[in-house]
Structure 1
Amino acid sequence: MTQQENAQILALQALAWLAADEDRIGPFLAQSGIGILELQARAGETEVLAAVMDFLLGDDARVVEFAAGAGRAPAEVAAARAALPGARCPTGPESRPDPAAHAFLAAAAVCETILLPPGPKCKGPQPEEPA
């Protein structure tokens, strides 16, 4: 299996985990703007799975709770998101020249919550040019 296929499987597990509890799926639906019927129809689409992982990674407690229930390390959740299209910041070794910084990002699963300067190593939103 490819890294992206493994990431999709973990994202589907995350979606099932969210859907199993109204207190978890409700905020996801509200944040993503997707309705329950659309979610059911598009659950396997990469864009939806990426949104699931983005939502999960938006809260450290959610990441830890899901990872524990899935028998995974929180770093695997961040790595799975990075393997899906549209990741804003890779968590692979190439994303940071300093291995210690990479280990911190992966272990904490906070790549998307740390303000990183845009550049060739992190393709985050580029700042607008002054008018």
Structure 2
Amino acid sequence: MGMKREQGETIALQALAWLASNEELMPIFMGSTGVSVDDVKNQAGQPEFLLSVLEFITMDDKWIVDCCDALNVPYTTLMEARAALPGGQHMHWT
């Protein structure tokens, strides 16, 4: 059975905290998504925003490894959390 939405949101919030503490990566996230510091604060509890955080981190294997190592979770956890959030399920094009 997959991860529940609440668990996915918790992991995504932890990933956001990791991202926010990363002085190199956070500005890249903000620049690529167009969010401000206030947007991050105001939207942190929104599943759609949390999904964007997970989608950003999972764009790069190194970011996945660094985040999962910091959170002390298996490397598959971020994708499982992503799938648990609304809109995060994988699309199958076949």
RMSD over aligned Cα atoms: 1.5
What is the rounded CA distance, in whole Å, between the counterparts of 1:42 and 1:55 in structure 2? 16
Which residue of structure 2 lines up, in the alignment, with residue 13 of structure 1?
14
1:88, distance to aligned residue in structure 2 (A)? 4.9
Residue 38 of structure 1, CA deviation: 1.2
Question: 1 CA distance for matches of 2:77 and 2:89?
Answer: 16
TM-score, reference length from structure 1: 0.66
Runs of 5+ in structure 2 lacking a partner?
Answer: none
Higher relative contact order at CA 8 Å, sep ≥6: structure 1 or structure 2? Answer: 2
1-structure distance, mates of 2:54, 2:22: 16
**Structure index of larger Rg:** 1
Distance (Å, rounded) in 1 between the aligned partners of 2:32 and 2:15: 16
What is residue 48 of structure 2 aligned with on the other side? 47
2:58 match: 57
What residue in structure 2 maps to residue 87 of structure 1?
A: 88
Q: In the alignment, is residue 38 of structure 1 matched against residue 13 of structure 2?
A: no
Amino acid at match of 2:8: A
In structure 2, C-alpha distance between the alignment counterparts of 1:30 and 1:43, rounded to whole Å: 17
- Tell me by how many angstroms 1:16 deviates: 0.4
- Give the aligned length: 92
Quote the offset at 1:21 in angstroms.
2.0
Q: Structure 2 CA distance, aligned partners of 1:69 and 1:88?
A: 25
Q: Distance in 2 between matches of 1:63 and 1:40?
A: 23
TM-score, scaled relative to structure 2: 0.90
- In structure 1, the gaps of 5 or more residues are 91-116, 120-131
Residue identity in the other structure for 1:3 = K
Task: Give aligned-pair identity as a percent.
Answer: 32
CA contact (8 A) 2:58 2:79 kept: yes
Rounded to whole Å, the distance in 2 between the matches of 1:46 and 1:88 is: 13
